[in-house]
Chain A
Amino acid sequence: MKRFGYTLAILASSVLASACTDDLTPTDTNTPPPGSTSGDQSTTFDHDNSGISPWELLDRLTQEGPPRYTAHVHSCPKVRYRTLGAVLTSLGANPANTTSLSAGDLYTNGFTALGGPNYANRIRENIGITTSGASREFDIFAAAADEVIAAFGDPTSALMQRCPGATLFDATTNACSPSGITCIIGTPATSRHLDYCNLTVTSASDPTVGKRLAVAAMLAAAYTCE
C-alpha cells in the first residue's frame, strides 16, 4: 500500500539507536522511548503507541520472505473459533458437550485460549497460531477422537451425512481407509496419510489406543492451519 512506513521507520530508528548502547540497564522504566507520544497535558496527552515491533517484523521477513513473496502465498492461520466448532460437528463430535474434559467442554471453555475476539475492547479474533491456542486445539482433537471414530459407525451422524459410505478403519484388520481419512481432513488422502495412520495404529499398545492416536494426530496436523 502507499505511504507505508514513515512512523515505523522513525520507531525503528529510535529503537535501533537505543539498542546501540552498551549499557543495557534502563535508567527509568517510566520514561517513554524517544519519539513516543505517550505523555500528559503538558506534552502530548496519551496516545496508543502499541504496534508491531520492528525486531519482530525483521524476524518475520527473514523467515517468511518479503511482502512481494508472502502476499502471493497462503499463510497458516489457525482455524477460527466458530469454524472449529462447525468442524467438530462435521467430524461427529459435539461441541456443546458439557462433560468435563470432553471435546465440547474443552472447546467451549477454550474461547480465550483459542484466540476468540474481544470486541468489547475492539480486538478482532487472533488468527495467529499461539502456543496456548495450538495446545488447546490438540487437546480438543485428542478428546474428540473417540467421538469421531464412533460417528463412522452411525449413519445418522453429521460425519456420515457429509461423507456417506466412508470408512475409517477396516473392521477386521484395523487398517486405515483412504475414504475415512479424506473425510476427516477435508482433502484427498495420500499414501503418506495412509502409511502414517497405519503405522500409528500398529505401533500402539492396542488397536483401540492406536486408532485414537491416529485420529487425534491426523486432525491435529490437518487443522494446525485453516
Chain B
Amino acid sequence: MKRISLVLMAAALAAPACSSSGNGGDTTGSGSDMTGSNGDQWDQALNDRVVDYSAALRIAALRLTGDLPTMDEINQVANAPDDASKKTAYESLIDNYMARPAFARQMFYFWRDTFKQGEAADLDTAPAFAAMLSVNNGAYTDLFTASSGNCPTFDEGTGAFTPADCANGGPKAGVLTNPGVMKQFFSNFAFRRVRWVQETFDCVKFPAEVSDTPTNVGGSSPYTGVWPFKSIATTMDKGGTGRVDFQDTSAVICANCHTTINHIAPLFAYYDMNGQYQTNISVPTPLDGAPPAQMTDYLPAGETTAWRYNVPAADISALGADMAQDPAVAECGVARIWNWALGKQDIVDALEEVPSDVIATQVANFQSGGYKMKDLIRAVYTSDDFVKF
C-alpha cells in the first residue's frame, strides 16, 4: 500500500474511536473524496487544465538556466500563431536551454540538493559526477556502476566539467564509493551511508522491504520484514556473536529495518571518516569507547551482504550492479527529476509521492532508452503535465 494511503487509513480508523461526541468521523470526511477514483473533484481539476506554453517557458527557464527568459524568447512562444507552433517554439527553447553552460550549473545545484552535500571541493565531486551525466546524456546507472572518472570537478563560472578519478582507494562504483559521500555520511556502523543510499536512490525510508505476511516474534508488534528474523546479529548473551541486539523486540521491532540495513552496511564500513578506503572496517559503534565495528556485529555467520533479500552483493561493485538493475531505483530517479521540474520538495523528506502511473511513460522510455539523463529531463519538461496549468 502507499505510504500516504496508510496514514489516511490509520486516521480513519483511529479518529472515530476517539470520538465522544459521535461525529468524530468528520475529521476525515475529506478523505473519501480524496481517495475516490470515479471522476471526483481532483479528476475534474486535472481535466480543466489548459496548455500554456508561455507559463511553462518561464518555469523552465528558471529551473533549467536559473534565470528569466529574454523578451525574444518570450515572444517566440507568445507570438506563435497556433498551439502547434507554440509547442515547436517551446520545445526548441528547451533544447536551447539544455545546451547552455547555465544548464550544467543548474544540474550541479540540483544534485547538490539531492545528495545533500556540497560547497566544498571534496563534497562537490559526487554532485559534479551526477551533473556531468545529466549534461552529457549519460546513463543514470553509471551513478552506481562507473568504475572510473567518478570524481570530476566543475567550474561554476564556465559550466565545464573536468573528469578525474576518485583518489580514495578501494573499488569504484559510481557515487557509492565517492569519498565526499563517505565523509559526509560517516556514522556508527556506516548506517547513515546506507540510509543515504536508500532514500536518495530508492525514494523510500526504511523499512525498505515489507512482507505481506507479518510474523509474531514475541514483541508488541509483528515482524514485517522479508528476511528471516534471525538473519541479523544479536548479542552473545542471546546466543549470537554481536555486541548489539538487532533482534531486540522490547521497544520496536529493530529487524523491520535492520534486516535490510545490516546486509548493506558492511559494504560501506571500509571507508573511514574522511572517506578513504581501508582494508579493515573503519567505522565506530555507539558502544562505550566507540570501538570499531566488526562483521559479526552486523550479521551472524553464514549471512552475506546483499542489496535486497535474494539479491546478494558480495562487494560494493556488485551492490551498484544490483541497484542499476532494480526497477524501483530507476523509477526513483525519474520521480526525482519529475518533482524537481514540477517544483516539489524532497520526495522522501516531504513525502511528495509520485504515483507510478503518473510517470509510467517516462519510466518506460527511461528504461528502454538506456537510462539517458538528458533525454529524461527533456521528456519531463516537454510532458503534458509540465505545460498544462
Which of chain B's residues have a CB closer than 8 A to the CB of A4? 1-6, 204, 351, 353
Complex Cα–Cα for A69 and B357 (A) = 11
- Which of B54, B71, B113, B119 meets A162, CB within 8 Å? B71
Complex contact B59–A52 (CB within 8 A): no
Complex Cα–Cα for A82 and B65 (A) = 11
Contact A8/B7 with A3-B210, A226-B62 known, Cβ cut-off 8 Å = yes
A128 at the interface (CB under 8 A from B): yes
Name the prevailing secondary structure of the A interface residues: loop
- Which of A1, A164, A186 meets B204, CB within 8 Å? A1
Complex contact A66–B385 (CB within 8 A): no
- Which of A5, A35, A52, A75 meets B252, CB within 8 Å? A35
Complex contact B46–A90 (CB within 8 A): no
Complex Cα–Cα for A66 and B123 (A) = 36
Q: Mark A149-167, 1 if CB is under 8 A from B, else 0.
A: 0000000000000111110
A26 at the interface (CB under 8 A from B): no
Which of chain B's residues have a CB closer than 8 A to the CB of A123? 116
Contact A1/B353 with A119-B123, A188-B74 known, Cβ cut-off 8 Å = yes
A172 at the interface (CB under 8 A from B): no
B230 at the interface (CB under 8 A from A): no
Q: Mark B200-221, 1 if CB is under 8 A from A, else 0.
A: 0011111111100000000001
B57 at the interface (CB under 8 A from A): yes
- Of all chain A residues, the one with the shortest Cβ separation from B63 is A226
Contact A1/B252 with A7-B206, A87-B67, A119-B117 known, Cβ cut-off 8 Å = no
Complex contact A77–B6 (CB within 8 A): no
User: What count of chain A residues pass the 8 Å CB interface test?
Assistant: 76
Q: Mark A27-52, 1 if CB is under 8 A from B, else 0.
A: 00000000111010101111000011
A187 at the interface (CB under 8 A from B): yes
Contact A73/B385 with A186-B61, A226-B59 known, Cβ cut-off 8 Å = yes
Complex Cα–Cα for A2 and B210 (A) = 10
Instruction: Tell me the smallest distance from the CB of B233 to a CB of chain A, in Å.
Output: 14
User: What count of chain B residues pass the 8 Å CB interface test?
Assistant: 104
Which of chain A's residues have a CB closer than 8 A to the CB of B121? none
- Which of A3, A9, A57, A77 meets B208, CB within 8 Å? A3
A80 at the interface (CB under 8 A from B): yes
Complex Cα–Cα for A225 and B118 (A) = 25
Which of chain B's residues have a CB closer than 8 A to the CB of A125? 113
Interface residues of B in 344-365 (CB under 8 A from A): 344-347, 349-359
Complex contact A187–B112 (CB within 8 A): no
Contact A73/B10 with A4-B353, A37-B252, A188-B78 known, Cβ cut-off 8 Å = no
**20 pairs from A and B in contact (CB 8 Å cutoff):** A1-B335, A3-B204, A4-B3, A6-B3, A6-B256, A8-B351, A9-B3, A12-B10, A17-B14, A39-B251, A45-B286, A65-B34, A66-B4, A68-B355, A69-B45, A79-B62, A117-B118, A119-B117, A119-B123, A127-B345
